[in-house]
Amino acid sequence: MNIFNYTLKSNPFPENEYMQQILKDDFCFLDIETTGFSRKNDQVVIIGLLFREGGKYTLRQYFLEDSLQEKKLLKQFISDLSDFQLMVTYNGLSFDYPFIQERAKFHQLPLRLSNLRHIDLYKHIQGNKGSLPIENYQLKTVEKLLGIHREDVISGGDSVNLYYKYLQNRDRNLREQILLHNYEDILYLPMITEIFTYIPKTPFLINSLHHSMAIPCTENFKQELTFVFKLTDLRLRDHKLSIKGVTKTLGNFNEINIFEEQFSFFWSPETEQYHLELLVLSEVLSPDILVHYFNYEKLFTSTNVTLPDSPESFSGQVDNNIIMYTNNILNYPSALQNIPKILKKLYGLYLCKKY
């Protein structure tokens, strides 16, 4: 394994309001190259990160020199990832992150993620396809729209073929071509935030949250559960708020199947999926304002779980409750803050009894 660090000579981050939101956090831009699309059978070849370090801008690449070194590469990357609160990708919610997650599980490596928020720029572009003058959503297509010109001329498929050739002959020119492809994917990724100038409605940037729990709750992290909470997985119907998501585990666990008055919760370690339903109440606050909320104090009365302090109520009229929808519009910040807390409490209650 090799790690290449480059200190950039100039600020790579554009000056727009969306990039300014990202710059408020300890963030990284991430992109990976692999030997194929199978998370179980293929490997990570390169992980590229772009981040701010003090007053400098660093682009880092973790390169797999030997197929036997993937565990070492991932272990170092996972350690470095813990420094960040926010990860920005392009289609990383569907490809990059799940691939890393699966390969980490293969090598029995705990991810140790703590409320890592994720912005997938591709998901925003895909969700606003009617507003954009492009024929597809490939990264290079979006770059062309924004006037970004690369030195790199190979595709992701070309990169795979070149890597296998490199393993055979160790030609440094081949390695440089592969590294350049990933380097420019990362270098220009911040510029993709300029695409929001084509989108009429200002989006809520965060798409998802990733979190890991040690199970049982000890310091050695020998067993771990990692869950993904995506805001697009929330559904409101029949006075219930439904949330479905995926997990990964290190260890063997029994499924959870709980039905309470205020909620139900199902988790299958076999399918690696969870489903939480919360009882939602409705209240008309004024002729123009209808809110949907769940009762913050009663939610876990039967399980004796102590939840965090109640957030600020809506205009002081729906006290001690979490408002999830106002006039059928999701309260994104509240959902991102509170639903993961509930998921962590549930997993802790039914898997380790100590969380």
Q: Which of 239, 48, 230 is nearest to 152 (CA)?
A: 48
User: Is 264 in the same domain as 322?
Assistant: yes
Taking the CA atoms of 83, 85, 90 and 91 in sequence, report the sign of the dihedral they define.
Answer: positive
Q: For residue 90, what pLDDT is reported?
A: 97
User: Is 169 in the same domain as 277?
Assistant: no
User: Is 291 in the same domain as 151?
Assistant: no
Q: How far apart are CA 168 and CA 48, in angstroms?
A: 23
User: Is 39 in the same domain as 183?
Assistant: yes
Q: For residue 314, what pLDDT is reported?
A: 44
Find tokens 């490809």 and name the residue. Answer: 95
Exposed / middle / buried, residue 287 (Cβ in 10 Å: 0-12, 13-18, 19+)? exposed
Output phi, psi for 95, to 5 deg: -120, -65
User: Is 23 in the same domain as 153?
Assistant: yes
5 strand-pairing partners: 60
Q: From residue 232, give the alpha-carbon distance in Å to each of 48, 84, 88, 209.
A: 27, 23, 17, 12
End of a domain among 198, 220, 245?
198
User: Is 25 in the same domain as 139?
Assistant: yes
Structural domain contains residue 259 = yes
Q: For residue 27, what pLDDT is reported?
A: 97
User: Is 251 in the same domain as 174?
Assistant: no
Q: Tell me if 247 sits within 8 A of 225, measured CB to CB.
A: yes
End of a domain among 179, 198, 217?
198
Q: How far apart are CA 274 and CA 279, in angstroms?
A: 17
| Model confidence, pTM | 0.91
**DSSP assignment, residue 307?**
P
Find tokens 């990357």 and name the residue. Answer: 77
Structural domain contains residue 100 = yes
- Domain that residue 298 falls in: 232-352
User: Is 276 in the same domain as 322?
Assistant: yes
Structural domain contains residue 222 = no
Structural domain contains residue 223 = no
End of a domain among 198, 213, 243?
198
Q: For residue 165, what pLDDT is reported?
A: 95
Q: How far apart are CA 114 and CA 313, in angstroms?
A: 26
Q: For residue 219, what pLDDT is reported?
A: 56
Structural domain contains residue 85 = yes
User: Is 52 in the same domain as 191?
Assistant: yes
Q: Which stretches within 303-347 are classed as H helix?
A: 332-347
User: Is 243 in the same domain as 182?
Assistant: no
User: Is 44 in the same domain as 168?
Assistant: yes
pLDDT 10s digit of each residue in the chain, 355 long? 999 999 999 999 999 999 999 999 999 999 999 999 999 999 999 999 999 988 899 999 999 999 999 999 999 999 999 999 999 999 999 999 999 999 999 999 999 999 999 999 999 998 887 778 888 888 989 999 999 998 888 888 899 999 999 999 999 999 999 999 999 999 999 999 999 888 877 778 999 999 998 876 555 556 899 999 999 999 998 889 999 999 999 988 889 999 988 899 999 999 999 999 999 988 888 889 999 988 766 776 655 555 444 444 444 346 668 889 999 899 999 999 989 989 998 898 888 654 4
Which two structure tokens, joined as six digits, stand for 112?
């140790």
Which three-class secondary structure state does DSSP give residue 261? coil
Q: From residue 54, give the alpha-carbon distance in Å to each of 26, 36, 57, 80, 209.
A: 11, 36, 8, 15, 25
Q: For residue 352, what pLDDT is reported?
A: 66
Query: How many structural domains does the chain have?
Result: 2
The end-to-end CA distance of the chain, in Å, is 37
Structural domain contains residue 114 = yes
Q: Which of 31, 55, 57, 56 is nearest to 44 (CA)?
A: 31
Structural domain contains residue 268 = yes
CATH number, domain at 189? 3.30.420.10
User: Is 26 in the same domain as 156?
Assistant: yes
Q: From residue 180, give the alpha-carbon distance in Å to each of 70, 106, 168, 244.
A: 20, 28, 20, 38
Concatenating the DSSP letter of every residue in 46-107 gives: EEEEEEEETTEEEEEEEE-SSGGGHHHHHHHHHHHHTT-SEEEESSIIIIIHHHHHHHHHHT
Structural domain contains residue 38 = yes
336 strand-pairing partners: none
Could you check whether the bond before residue 216 is cis, i.e. omega within 30 degrees of 0? yes
Q: Tell me if 128 sits within 8 A of 199, measured CB to CB.
A: yes
